[in-house]
Structure 1
Amino acid sequence: MRLLVVCLGNICRSPMGEGALRRRIAQSPLTGRVELDSAGTSDWHIGRAPDPRAIACARGHGVDIGGLKARQLLREDFDRFDLILCADQGNLEDARALAPAGAAHKAVLWLPWAGMPGEAVPDPYYGDGRDFEHSWALVDAAAQATVRRLSAAADSGIIGP
């Protein structure tokens, strides 16, 4: 299974989501069975490390995302990844607009797909540490829910019936 976490710039929500997923998958029976990456729908930050506040927030939860580098979502990602987990409605719309014919269904809103309340992981970029902590709480809960869903689903391609 291949999962791609997507936000706008790939410097806050999606790298935190990738980090949270990496940790939760490493603590589960899915270890070694899931490939992860993150991307942004914009090209604003290509090649840059995550926002220092995102790095500090993740580090405070025992997760190192400092080595990640921002990249832009590509049309080819729809061939490479099974699911594209979008942080908010705008990211979802942008991802689906980029999708090749017949592949738009791979892009989903992460929180609802994971069975969580709410539609979006709010963008903490213009906020402060509390905003990053709130976004972390959501992506970490979504990561846990994602692991549960993939571990339980016979059709996940990971865990057999």
Structure 2
Amino acid sequence: MINVLFISLGNICRSPMAEAIFRKRIDEAGLSGFVTVDSAGIGHWHEGKEMHPSARVLLGQKGISMGNHTAKQVQAEHLEAYDYIIVMDQLNLQDLSAIAPAYTDRYQLFSDFIPERAGEDIEDPFFTDEFEAVFEMLEAGCVELCETIKQQTQWKEPV
């Protein structure tokens, strides 16, 4: 089993969007029984709240369901369970490294799965209102992440 965790600031925009997009990708690839996916936030201020309405509407327009997402804060003691811990920006990476330095070898920037944007931040649409642009970046990165997992595990498509 491969376990993937997406982390953003508050877990109401970027990370749950990435979770939903990636869940759809792994389902389409036949990996849903082999890969689990979740999301969390660095901060606690949105804990228990639903996904940002603009994010939920956009996912719905794209035919992607988020289910009953409620924001949660990342807990250092839970990070051991994840093979991929993917953060949305440099500030999240720094904060996560301070919270749980033991797992820094597993931390990756989301944009590193988008070759032409490697090392860049995925801007927070909560502040920019650029939900469509963020969706496009998340979609591109999720496609690449799915391919990376398939290659690393030598996954064979079901016949």
Structure 1 length normalisation: TM-score? 0.89
**What's 1:159 paired with?**
155
Q: Which residue of 2 is the match for residue 146 of structure 1? A: 145
* Equivalent position amino acid for 2:107 in 1: A
Q: CA deviation at 1:95?
A: 1.1
In structure 1, what is the equivalent of residue 8 of structure 2? 7
- Distance verdict in 2 for CA 1:66–1:56, change over 3 Å: farther
Structure 2 residue aligned with 1:116: 115
Question: 1:76 deviation in Å?
Answer: 1.5
1:106 to 2:106 alignment:
yes
Give the Å deviation of 1:100.
4.7
Q: Map 1:12-161 onto structure 2 (within 5 A).
A: 12-101=13-102, 103-112=103-112, 114-118=113-117, 119-128=120-129, 131-153=130-152, 156=153, 159=155
Q: 1:126-157 deviations in whole A, cap 9, x for unaligned?
A: 233xx10000001111110001111112xx4x
Amino acid at match of 1:73: V
**Displacement after TM superposition at 1:66 (Å):** 4.9
**Which 5+ residue runs of structure 2 have no aligned equivalent?**
none
Q: CA shift at 1:120, angstroms? A: 1.8
Answer whether contact 1:78 1:106 (CA < 8 A) is retained.
no
Task: Find the aligned partners of 1:68 and 1:146 in 2 and give their Cα distance.
Answer: 22
Distance 2:63 2:30 in 1: 20
Structure 2 CA distance, aligned partners of 1:95 and 1:52? 26
**TM-score (normalizing by structure 2):** 0.90
User: Is 2:114–2:137's contact at 8 Å kept on the other side of the alignment?
Assistant: no
Structure 1 residue ranges, 4+ long, deviating more than 4 angstroms after superposition: none
Query: Alpha-carbon deviations, 1:4-35, whole Å to 9, x = none?
Result: 00000000000000000000010003221111
Distance 2:85 2:78 in 1: 8
- Partners of 2:9 and 2:84 lie apart in 1 by 17
Distance 1:123 1:116 in 2: 20
Question: Normalized per residue, which structure has more helix?
Answer: 2
Counterpart AA for 1:6: I
Amino acid at match of 2:29: S
Alpha-carbon separation, structure 2, partners of 1:19 and 1:44: 21
> Partners in 2 of 1:127 and 1:100 — Cα distance?
30
**Counterpart amino acid of 1:104?**
T
Deviations along 1:50-85, one digit per CA (max 9) or x if unpaired, are: 000010111111112251010001102221111110
